[in-house]
Amino acid sequence: MFSFLAGQRPQWRRALGASRRLTLFTLLAGLLTTLTVVAPSASAADGQIVGLAGKCVDVAWADSTNGTPVQLHDCTGNNAQLWSNPGDGTLRALGKCLDVVDMSTADGAGVQLWDCTGNPNQQWVVTSARDIVNPAADKCLDVRDKNSANGTRLQIWTCTGASNQKWTAPAAGGSNTSGFVVSESQFNQMFPSRNSFYSYSGLVQALSSYPGFATTGSDTVKKREAAAFLANVDHETGHLVFVVEQNTANYSHYCDWSQSYGCPAGQSAYYGRGPIQLSWNFNYKAAGDALGIDLLHNPSLVQTNSAVAWRTGLWFWNTSTGAGTMTAHNAMVNDKGFGQTIRTINGSLECDGKNPGQVESRVTAYRNFTAILGVSPGSNLYC
């Protein structure tokens, strides 16, 4: 296994199923620019967004021009107050998106109407606590100065739980019939620029291999575990962009001929693949044996079959202690905290102050994903 933001792990970890590949972080920016946003299939839910003093989120002058301020106003029922929540993380009116001005993350940044771009400043989470959160800024939609007068500009501000940050908004379009605690629309919201190979349906199919995953404990624990797995996967694959290891020069390094079964698929066949980048012949064999799939002879299944790829990620999550003392699954269901999942996955290179930037990247994703699922992240987030 490997992290896109980390160096190769030492070979001694191979018995734990956690050898990983070199990073090529510089490739990420170039590849991300070529990707398209994956649109959810769910239909939008439409309605007013009602907040302070029973007033509505309103597009000033019902003007759909880019940059038109969004304000508080008496509810009139006109189209300037009709918002859709299509399930892709956006809130839309008059055919455009609710947008934080200049992609700012600062307290007091105004919100406006703008062409939908898929950028983080147009992503919003309607939580069960009635906050409307922009995860990129980790701030709430807020009525400026708690002023309920018509025309008061809306902004983002640090979430306080005050009445000027509470809203009744349309629910996300579509229903969750998968049984997974993460709906398809939430999954799309988490990974708006993902590689289409990493499909939601593939993930849902894979869940049957580890029925205890994200089904153990309270609803909060279930959602935290799902968010933790997806946050680590997000970091490992550059936001679910990379399916295979990008450094082809490493491919021939992952065959351990000391194993009795050798490398039947070839010297260079066991490079990193999938959401936690399965690598080395012994890891392909161990994962395949656990899943009932002959991955030793057919390693390419991990890059051609979405459900198989997700299954290998869940195999590591649920069975390997890696550089830690517990599996990532046990860390989450036993309330040991997200930090222990980082230690399991890449603790030898990241934890105990070795690479705080990588740890912060994982924690940021986890906080964003728990916000999308409407739960708190819990304690012990760092390793």
Residues annotated as catalytic are 236
Instruction: Count CB neighbours of 247 within 10 A.
Output: 16
How far is C-alpha 87 from the geometric centre of its chain's CA atoms? 14
- The closest of 239, 249, 233, 235 to 312, measured between CA atoms, is 233
8-state DSSP, 180? S
Strands (E), the chain: 45-47, 56-59, 70-73, 83-85, 92-93, 96-100, 111-114, 125-126, 132-134, 139-143, 154-157
For CA atoms 205, 347, 289, 304, give the dihedral sign.
Answer: positive
State how beta strands 111-114 and 56-59 pair. unpaired
State how beta strands 139-143 and 92-93 pair. unpaired
Scanning the structure block, which residue is given the tokens 């065959």?
A: 255
Burial class (CB in 10 A: 0-12, 13-18, 19+), 339: buried
* 69-to-66, 95, 99, 152, 207 alpha-carbon distances in Å: 9, 15, 10, 10, 44
State how beta strands 96-100 and 83-85 pair. unpaired
How far is C-alpha 93 from the geometric centre of its chain's CA atoms? 25
**Secondary structure of residue 318 in the 3-state scheme:** helix
- Describe the chain by its helix, strand, coil percentages, rounded to 5: 35, 10, 50
Query: What's the count of helices (H) and strands (E) in the chain, helices before strands?
Result: 10, 11
Query: Crossing angle, helix 219-236 and helix 356-373, to 10 degrees?
Result: 140
